[in-house]
């Protein structure tokens, strides 16, 4: 089943569940005839269907509106369904407390609506700069205090334009980085966003360079967007290779591991990216937080990833965690530090719950290799 069909199926099932339970709420049943409720549901579903068909091209104003509506409506349905399901579980789907269960579903719908508002407000806020301090085995003393700023999942496109990107560049440069790394999914869609994203990217500069790896969305855009934008901005792409950015400090990057895993080549990508590197501290850039154990066994000291968005909208993260156990934040895997960014932007709806987007600011310090188990 394609991802688009999965979203359409999920949205349809969520809408059927929410509207069927809404019809049992006394305050709604008294004021809204069932045929009006059913017709409203059908209209909203047709609009959602349009967003997953014509809206996916996002080339004209109506297509863009359809796409924006569809993704935000799906997110709202998810939150409404979660709240109603909690009420149903608490009342045994009406078998217990059968007199109060319908009213409780009404309160659940109100809670879902309020959570949608909170998620919209949080999604519109700029990302925060999150500070980490990492002890890195093999790092020369001369590089103590080196600052690496990492940005992932900007998703510049339909909702987030070049002006938004320029504001994020200001945040990155304001963190006074010695090195900047871009962890993938910088752009989405087939059209170049409004603003001037190329000019914004060209402002990125750091003493130890600006380096990038591709995410899964880079393969969805046109030649002018995604990787093409990085190329024209003069930002090197680390695709299964390494570079020495300073004596004793190596930065390696792998291709998008979701694509590599489909080709059963994820392990080969990591091995190729790290092969033949000189002694010293190694930082591995991987858009997807997979193959961490393999990277640790190869002597990597720090792995930086994104892709997961930290689940983006609670409690969706618990579902995402089944595929990405390293969901967000800092982990120790076989002595190697892994930091997974929640991403600076949003995918789909401009919504987040409960955690904001983030930009990583990592200060490196020399240390012996840690030897704790994965957390």
pLDDT at residue 233 is higher than 70 = yes
Contact of 243 with 274, CB cutoff 8 Å: no
Mean pLDDT of the chain: 89
Structure tokens at 2: 């394609």
Q: What kind of fold does domain 128-366 have according to CATH?
A: Purple Acid Phosphatase; chain A, domain 2 (3.60.21)
Q: Mean pLDDT over residues 51-55, rounded?
A: 69
C-alpha–C-alpha distance, residues 157 and 162, integer Å: 8
How many CB atoms neighbour CB 250 within 10 A? 22
pLDDT value for 370? 42
The reported pTM is 0.89
Q: Which position has the higher pLDDT, 310 or 188?
A: 310
**Beta-carbon-side half-sphere exposure of residue 106 (alpha carbons within 13 Å):** 13
Beta bridge partners of 187: 156
pLDDT value for 92? 93
Residue 267, phi then psi, degrees to nearest 5: -65, -40
pLDDT value for 280? 93
Question: What's the residue count for the chain?
Answer: 375
List, for residues 57-77, the tens digit of each pLDDT value: 556 677 778 888 888 999 999
Confidence of residue 1 (pLDDT cuts 50, 70, 90): low
Domain with CATH 3.60.21.10 in the chain: 128-366
pLDDT value for 369? 45
Q: Choose among 155, 110, 136: nearest CA to 350.
A: 155
pLDDT at residue 56 is higher than 60 = no
Q: Which position has the higher pLDDT, 374 or 291?
A: 291
pLDDT value for 59? 61
b/e per residue 340-352 (b: at least 16 CB within 10 A): bbbbbbbbbbbbb
Q: Choose among 14, 2, 19, 15: nearest CA to 53.
A: 2
pLDDT at residue 311 is higher than 90 = yes
How many helices (DSSP H) and strands (DSSP E) are in the chain? Answer: 12, 11
pLDDT at residue 349 is higher than 70 = yes
- In the sheet with 329-333, reading across from the earlier edge strand, the strands are 241-246, 249-253, 281-285, 302-305, 336-340, 329-333
């Amino acid at each position: 089943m394609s991802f688009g069909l999965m979203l359409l199926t999920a949205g349809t099932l969520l809408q059927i569940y929410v509207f069927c339970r809404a019809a049992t709420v006394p305050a709604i049943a008294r004021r809204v005839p069932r045929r009006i409720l059913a017709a409203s549901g059908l209209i909203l579903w047709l609009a959602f269907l349009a967003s997953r068909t014509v809206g996916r091209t996002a080339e004209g104003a109506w297509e863009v509106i359809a796409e924006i509506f569809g993704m935000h409506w799906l997110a709202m349905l998810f939150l409404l369904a979660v709240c109603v399901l909690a009420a149903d579980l608490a009342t045994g789907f009406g078998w217990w407390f059968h007199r109060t269960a319908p009213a409780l579903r009404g309160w659940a719908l109100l809670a879902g609506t309020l959570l949608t508002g909170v998620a919209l407000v949080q999604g519109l806020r700029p990302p925060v700069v999150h500070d980490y301090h990492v002890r890195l085995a093999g790092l020369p003393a001369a590089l103590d205090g080196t600052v690496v700023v990492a940005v992932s999942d900007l998703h510049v496109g339909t909702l987030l334009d070049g002006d938004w990107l320029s504001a994020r560049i200001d945040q990155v440069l304001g963190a006074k980085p010695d090195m900047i790394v871009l962890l993938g999914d910088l752009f989405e869609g087939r059209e170049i966003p409004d603003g001037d994203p190329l000019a914004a990217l060209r402002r990125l500069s750091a003493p130890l360079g600006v380096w990038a790896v591709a995410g899964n969305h880079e393969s969805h855009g046109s030649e002018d967007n995604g990787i093409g934008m990085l190329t024209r901005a003069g930002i090197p792409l680390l695709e299964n290779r390494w570079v020495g950015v300073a004596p004793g400090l190596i930065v390696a990057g792998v291709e998008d591991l979701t694509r590599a895993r489909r080709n059963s080549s994820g392990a080969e990508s990591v091995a190729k990216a790290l092969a033949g590197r000189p002694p010293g501290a190694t930082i591995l850039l991987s858009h997807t937080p997979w193959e961490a154990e393999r990277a640790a066994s190869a002597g990597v000291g720090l792995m930086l990833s994104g892709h997961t968005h930290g689940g983006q909208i609670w409690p969706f993260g618990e579902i995402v965690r089944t595929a990405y156990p390293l969901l967000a934040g800092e982990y120790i895997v076989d002595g190697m530090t892994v930091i997974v960014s929640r991403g600076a932007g949003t995918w789909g709806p401009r919504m987040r719950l409960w955690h904001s987007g983030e930009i990583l600011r990592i200060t490196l310090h020399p240390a012996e290799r840690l030897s704790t188990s994965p957390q």
